[in-house]
Amino acid sequence: MTNVSFDESALANFVEPNELNEIKPMLNTARDELVNGTGVESEMREWLTLPKDYDKEEFDRIKQAAKQIQSDSKVLVVIGIGGSYLGAKMALDFLHDNFYESTPDDQRDFPQVIFAGNSISGSYVHDLVKLIGDRDFSVNVISKSGTTTEPSIAFRIFRKLLVAKYGEDDAKKRIYVTTDAKNGALRKEVAANGYESFVIPDGIGGRYSVLCPVGLLPIAASGVDIDELMQGAADAQDFYTTKPLTENGALQYAAYRNILYRKGYTNEILENYEPNLRFLAEWWKQLAGETEGKDNKGIYPSSANFSTDLHSLGQYIQQGMRNLMETVVKIEQPPFDVDVPKTGDNGDGIEYLEGRTMNYVNEKAFESVILAHTNGGVPNMVVNVKDQSAYSLGELIYFFEFGIAVSAYLNGINPFNQPGVEDYKKNMFALLGKPGYEDLKHQIEINAAAKNQKQAINSEESKNTAK
């Protein structure tokens, strides 16, 4: 592996050499549970071999569909929430320039890819419809069940717009569905309407789905070479599933973050120094949070974008509670650079930077932050990425997927379920009056009434005490 590497050198004051040796037997057990399928819910590890063992015929259909979208649409609306959109959004930001989404149509070679169904904001959808305007567009709706509230609402809205613009029959040709192979509401719609469709494999959960049709169709439609992306992931699969701890950065990442977690560093901040890596952190937060946050355990995932957030979060990181660890994703070869201009005066105090480049300054900011934060008691790890190519991203995706899954097993956690996600949904369905949730709605109303009564009693007692 050459494009992604792990650097633990800044942990020297936080982890003793013997600690890595002491966790190694448990780490190897966790790795074996994942690789050999002996851990809990092993049927959900299809992503582990996906980069090499994927449906080649469907992969070709994805590329064909992407070409069709490129030929007839200025905009692709991707409808999904959670893993059904974060992976694609992360990849598009990582692989395109910072203002890719706002580039005018006459200056872009591929469709603008925009996302819907990831919130319940009427204002967002209104603004999105306004952004599309009278331009030609297609829709890719992504949902395993087809009944998730946010994307279901969005699909109804954008399907109606398609029919109004193109008519019933032509609208069907602009709808691409990514869903379960056999079951679910969307699969029934595919059968009824003849939509082009792609399959979310049974053994892949949403947060591990970016390298299946969930992510691949939007990524391909944006003009990315998905063969290169999958090759990077395939080489990573060969490497991370076979190499021992001493050579394996993903295993080292899993080991060190668990050593630190056991010492009270319960929050991990994923950081970057390139603005178009912001959604890499958003994708990683779901991957880490849903994989590890169970049974009152798990490292809390958060993120920061440097140097920007050094002027807002920097004070807390430097001198706040000492429960933070930092992982920096560092691009070794950014795609572009800009010189610091010479002006002939030093009114702004940066004459000493003349002749330097912005990337040089960014590099020194990175080095100085590592030094300051480690001196301040915050352990730092670095994931070095050679460049922002599709191949490197494929490697990076697999690095984090593998490392986080091993980390969960290492902590005695099922990496592949997310039982807590359903709790808010049940309450929302009850409050919205969804059939079948009448008893829960009644209980919520009883609890609310009891809470109001208690507050009224406490208020009256406070008044009497004041008298």
Three-state secondary-structure class, residue 347: coil
Q: How far is CA 104 from CA 66, 76, 100, 118, 119, in A?
A: 20, 15, 9, 24, 26
Low-confidence ranges of the chain (pLDDT < 70): 1, 420-432, 439-444, 448, 450-451, 454, 456-457, 459-467
* pLDDT value at residue 456: 65
Question: What pLDDT, in 10s, does the model give residues 285-324?
Answer: 999 999 999 999 999 999 999 999 999 999 999 999 999 9
Q: Which residue has 């030609």 as its token pair?
A: 136
Q: Which strand ranges, in their side-by-side order, compose the sheet holding 112-116?
A: 112-116, 75-79, 137-142, 175-179, 196-199
∠ CA 41-42-46, nearest 5°, is 120
- What token pair was written down for 246? 């001493």
Q: Where are the beta strands (DSSP E) in 218-287?
A: 267-272
From the number of C-beta atoms within 10 Å of its C-beta (0-12, 13-18, 19+), residue 76 rates as buried
Three-state secondary-structure class, residue 91: helix
Q: How far is CA 192 from CA 172, 187, 361, 434, in A?
A: 11, 9, 58, 25
Cβ 202 vs Cβ 212: under 8 Å: no
Cβ 385 vs Cβ 392: under 8 Å: yes
* pLDDT value at residue 2: 81
Distance between first and last Cα of the chain: 75
* pLDDT value at residue 446: 76
Q: Which residue has 């208690």 as its token pair?
A: 454
The number of residues in the chain equals: 467
Q: Most distant CA pair in the chain: distance in Å?
A: 80
- What token pair was written down for 410? 């290492």
- What token pair was written down for 344? 């002939």
Three-state secondary-structure class, residue 58: helix
Which residues make beta-bridge pairs with 384? 5, 330
Q: Which strand ranges, in their side-by-side order, compose the sheet holding 300-305?
A: 4-7, 380-385, 324-331, 267-272, 300-305
Q: Which residue has 């010189």 as its token pair?
A: 339
Three-state secondary-structure class, residue 424: helix
- What token pair was written down for 117? 């169904």
Q: How far is CA 309 from the centre of its chain?
A: 19
Cβ 45 vs Cβ 37: under 8 Å: yes
**Catalytic (active-site) positions:** 290, 425
- What token pair was written down for 342? 């010479």
In whole angstroms, give the CA distance from residue 86 to residue 286. 8
Question: What pLDDT, in 10s, does the model give residues 51-95?
Answer: 999 999 999 999 999 999 999 999 999 999 998 899 999 999 999
* pLDDT value at residue 364: 96
Strand 380-385 to 4-7 pairing: antiparallel
* pLDDT value at residue 344: 85
Looking at every residue in the chain, the average pLDDT score rounds to 93
Cβ 48 vs Cβ 35: under 8 Å: yes
From the number of C-beta atoms within 10 Å of its C-beta (0-12, 13-18, 19+), residue 113 rates as buried
Cβ 260 vs Cβ 325: under 8 Å: yes
Count CA atoms closer than 13 A to 194's CA, side-chain side: 6
Q: pTM surpassing 0.85?
A: yes
